[in-house]
Structure 1
Amino acid sequence: MFKKLPLLFAAALLTACGTFQSVVKSAFPYTANLVVPISAEPGKPGEVTAMSQSFDQKFSKDGNNAYKIEQVHVSSAKIEADNPSDFNIGNIASIKIYLSKEDGSSEVLVAQRTDIGPNVGKSLVLDADQSARLDKLVRLPRLKVRMQYTVRHKLDMDATLHLALNMSAKAAE
């Protein structure tokens, strides 16, 4: 019986680490600041990219413990005006958010909104694609975010938008 205790303890510890990482992935979103330029042409598709960051990347010495989780997907996505802080996101008619490796490969559509009303205000919840699996992508220390957009009318200035992607995950077995 006592010889099996170290094995049981090790198994419990590994399960706890996976559970901890799934909680961390769920609690700390991937974030990025995306700038829609003043040069964006109304009615024509445009795109911007940025590198995303997540608080949980600072939890381990190798930058990421994501191998302890599986079935990772975006559970919710929100975009907010950052600069100017009162920017009306209704100035944008549609948004699609993609995640990929730093080089742009393995790109996955994770959230979108194609019916943005003209008077939305300074924040907007996007429709998250919960079927997109991100298990391999979240094992990387950095992810590239690409936002496709269409502006409704000419902008007066560059608009910086803050994107938060909340993840959901399950502890790996």
Structure 2
Amino acid sequence: MMKKLTFILLASILFLSSCAMMQRVVKGTFPYTANMVIPASASVGEPHTAISTANSFDQDFTKDGNNAGKISEVRIVSAKLESKDPANYNIGNIASLRVYMAKADGSDEVMVAIRKDIAATSGNSIVLDIDNSHFLDELVRQPNVRIRMVYKLRKAGDVDVSLKLSLGIGADPRN
């Protein structure tokens, strides 16, 4: 019974994903996520870079990872950074950061989020300031998207830190 229900749900998602309005809803519901790693060897006060591939849950339901053909005017609407391992890592150990999104080969890179004033007592989760001045239509049509985070540390860590970056997007149906 559960397998049949799962199959029907999956078939419905695949069928409805061909509709522009449905693609808009799906892309807006499932954020792009990336795991960013800050090594314990990173020094304080100097710019460092972390690079990762981002993906969205809905990409798993398509043949080539691209189901955004019928949406346009794609922009970032939210950005959040939270500690994953260790879960209690204080993101306030990071003084500032910028987040860039690009094609898998690094081309067409645009800044999508920034945070210049991270409080030293921020805790394990922060919301970033978004930069939605760029349309990301071509980027979200890619099967893989590269995320680059440039950061400066306020305090060095004792262990490598894994952070989860979530980028929510908004779009309009393509005419």
TM-score normalised by length of structure 2: 0.88
| Secondary structure at 1:149 match in 2 | strand
Paired with 1:47 and 1:114, the residues of 2 have a C-alpha distance of 16
Paired with 1:171 and 1:59, the residues of 2 have a C-alpha distance of 19
Q: CA deviation at 1:155?
A: 1.4
Q: CA deviation at 1:59?
A: 2.8
Q: Are residue 106 (structure 1) and residue 108 (structure 2) matched?
A: yes
Match of 1:135 in 2: 137
CA RMSD between the two structures: 1.7
Runs of 4+ in 1 over 3 A off after TM superposition: none
**Unaligned residue ranges in structure 2 (runs of 5+):** 1-14
Deviates more, 1:58-67 or 1:38-47: 58-67
Match of 2:34 in 1: 32
Answer yes or no: is the 8 Å Cα contact 2:48–2:151 preserved in 1.
yes
| Secondary structure at 2:121 match in 1 | coil
| Secondary structure at 2:58 match in 1 | helix
**Unaligned residue ranges in structure 1 (runs of 5+):** 1-12
Answer yes or no: is the 8 Å Cα contact 1:58–1:64 preserved in 2.
no
Cα deviation 1:78-134 (Å, max 9, x = unaligned): 000000000000000001110101111110100010100000000000001111210
Paired with 2:104 and 2:63, the residues of 1 have a C-alpha distance of 20
TM-score normalised by length of structure 1: 0.89
Match of 1:80 in 2: 82
Larger radius of gyration: 1
Answer yes or no: is the 8 Å Cα contact 2:91–2:122 preserved in 1.
yes
Q: CA deviation at 1:60?
A: 2.6
Aligned residues: 161
Paired with 1:63 and 1:34, the residues of 2 have a C-alpha distance of 21
Match of 2:162 in 1: 160
